[in-house]
């Protein structure tokens, strides 16, 4: 029936860490003071104590919502912790994880629309569209047709391809509306088409003997 038996403090602690668990901002702490009564029965040789329920000394026993602090270059997986009731007194421990605000995406870590910034938190910001493998690679093709004066095929087509890849950056400065920017298309291998010799067809003469090689300083727009 001493002070410690009839008084207790519940604490909510919110830690702010990066993906490696390193602290990036000062923890938030809230407390609620709980009290209870005791009834002592001395009708028997051995007195017994019966306790009442814990009740908040003031207020309704809830921890207020806490906005996640701003950390330069990082975005939290939740903008705030919600209001939490404590039937108490119980300690509550929460963790807000911060991720780099700008995420680099390539073919090794593609994303689909709605993927979570923090896969362990269903309420974390989500990736926008435009980050799939199909968005980060493409193929440019040159097809050479060999035809007669009537447009009829006289030899198999010669087909060449150049594979291109690019990267993307996702900016979560506004977690509700992340923005995507793309890097330049880069050829995998030589950015050009090799020369193609025109095949010999008995009884026919081609209008050229070779289709010239083509090289590009950037992604080709039109390939003859």
So where are the chain's domains? 1-100, 101-224
Angle at 167 (CA atoms; ends 21, 162), nearest 5 degrees: 150
Give the mean pLDDT of 61-85: 96
Q: What is the average per-residue pLDDT within 67-79?
A: 97
In angstroms, the CA 28 to CA 12 distance is: 8
Intrachain domains 1-100 and 101-224 with the same fold: yes
Residues 173-214 pLDDT 10s: 999 999 999 999 999 999 999 999 999 999 999 999 999 999
Give the predicted TM-score (pTM) of the model: 0.81
pLDDT value of residue 221: 59
Q: What is the CATH number of domain 101-224?
A: 2.60.40.4300
**pLDDT score of 44 more than 90:** no
Q: Over the stretch 82-120, which tens digit does the pLDDT of each residue have? A: 999 998 899 999 999 999 999 999 999 999 999 999 999
CATH of domain 1-100: 2.60.40.4300
**Secondary structure E strands in 101-201:** 102-105, 137-147, 153-165, 168-171, 179-182, 186-187, 192-193, 196-197
């Amino acid at each position: 029936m001493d002070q410690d038996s009839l008084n207790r403090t519940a604490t909510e602690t919110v830690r702010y860490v990066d993906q490696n668990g390193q602290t990036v901002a000062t923890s938030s702490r809230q407390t609620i003071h709980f009290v209870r009564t005791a009834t002592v029965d001395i009708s028997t040789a051995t007195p017994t104590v019966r306790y009442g329920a814990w009740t908040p000394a003031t207020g309704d026993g809830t921890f207020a919502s806490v906005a996640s602090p701003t950390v330069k270059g990082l975005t939290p997986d939740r903008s705030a912790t919600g209001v939490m009731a404590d039937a108490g007194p119980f300690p509550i421990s929460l963790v807000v994880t911060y991720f780099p605000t700008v995420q680099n995406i390539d073919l090794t870590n593609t994303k689909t629309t709605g993927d979570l910034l923090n896969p362990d938190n269903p309420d974390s910001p989500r990736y926008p569209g435009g980050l799939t493998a199909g968005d980060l690679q493409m193929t440019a093709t040159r097809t050479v047709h060999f035809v007669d004066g009537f447009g009829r095929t006289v030899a198999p087509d010669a087909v060449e391809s150049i594979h291109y890849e690019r990267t993307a950056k996702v900016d979560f400065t506004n977690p509700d509306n992340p923005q995507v920017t793309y890097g330049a298309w880069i050829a995998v291998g030589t950015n050009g088409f090799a020369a193609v010799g025109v095949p010999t067809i008995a009884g026919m003469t081609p209008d050229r003997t070779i289709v010239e090689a083509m090289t590009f300083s950037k992604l080709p727009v039109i390939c003859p």
